[in-house]
Amino acid sequence: MDRRATMMKNRFLFCIFMVGLSFVLSLNAQVIDTTIVVKGIEKTVQPSDSLFNDSISRMFESVLKTDEKLKDEKIVIGTETKAEFKPDPTRAVLYTLIFPGMGQIYNRKYWKLPIVYGGFIGITYAITWNGNIYHDYSNGYRDLVTGEGDSWKSLLSARTVQEIESDPSLKETYRATFKRKKDYYRRNRDLAVFAMVGLYALCMIDAYVDAQLYDFDVSPDLSMRVEPVVWGPDGRSNFAVGLQCSVRF
């Protein structure tokens, strides 16, 4: 009976030993992945003896090196920086020299285009109109002097033409009139040409100045105030009233 109890006891202890041994072997055989997050960087390590500690040490060294590298570099995520527009004065003048108004377009001052092109159109009309009338009176004056043509008749009324034909002495009077008008319209035409050149130069100057002062900052505090002021009495005078002007910039 004792022998039988001893055998059952030994079998029970052996079963416990085998269960414990199986549990230990299963822990050693099983791969347990551990994920550690440090400063947003994930690292997966396996807790197997000293390898676990070595993996953690290497991971922290990698994190520190990455952090130092990020300090030296500027990283912009999801945004794109765009360079601020700054016109070049020389380029603005060259564009205007090539074609009027291109410098204003380059400087993004589009509101000046109607003024520029309106001025050029008006001056061009003045040159054309005065030039045509000048040529008419120039041809009429030449025909009156030489007596070879009759282009001068289109510049006078039919009644005046009849008077001149009936009295040739009147031709001398109308020669002086034609010469005076010819010189007058030629002068106006030449002035319009000078105005065209001046407007061309003004466009180049405007484009240059606009490009130079494109980023000129005018403070909103720039102001001038004129207000009444009262001075108190002193040893030499009584109360005095006046105006005070103050400029803030």
Tokens 């289109």 belong to: 154
pLDDT tens digits, one per residue of 108-160: 999 999 999 999 999 999 999 999 999 999 999 988 888 888 888 888 888 88
Give the list of residues 6+ apart from residue 150 with CB closer than 8 angstroms, or none.
143
Question: How far does Cα 129 stand from its chain's mean position?
Answer: 40
Tokens 């202890």 belong to: 13
Contact (CB, 8 A) for 204 and 103: yes
What is the 3-class SS of the chain, one letter each residue? CHHHHHHHHHHHHHHHHHHHHHHHHHHHHCCCCEEEEECCEEEEECCCCHHHHHHHHHHHHHHHHHHHHHHHCCCCCCCCCCCCCCCCHHHHHHHHHHCCCHHHHHCCCHHHHHHHHHHHHHHHHHHHHHHHHHHHHHHHHHHHHHCCCCHHHHHCCHHHHHHHHHCCCHHHHHHHHHHHHHHHHHHHHHHHHHHHHHHHHHHHHHHHHHHHCCCCCCCCCCEEEEEEEEECCCCCCCCEEEEEEEEEC
**What is the separation, in whole angstroms, between the first and last Cα of the chain?**
117
The pLDDT of residue 47 is 47
The pLDDT of residue 77 is 43
> Which stretches in the chain have pLDDT values below 70?
1-83, 217-224, 230-241, 246-249
The pLDDT of residue 105 is 93
The pLDDT of residue 209 is 93
The pLDDT of residue 8 is 60
The pLDDT of residue 215 is 74
Q: Is the pTM of this model over 0.75?
A: no
pLDDT tens digits, one per residue of 233-245: 666 666 666 777 7
Tokens 């990455």 belong to: 66
Position 223: which residue type?
S
Give backbone dihedrals phi and psi of 83, rounded to 5 degrees, phi first: -65, 140
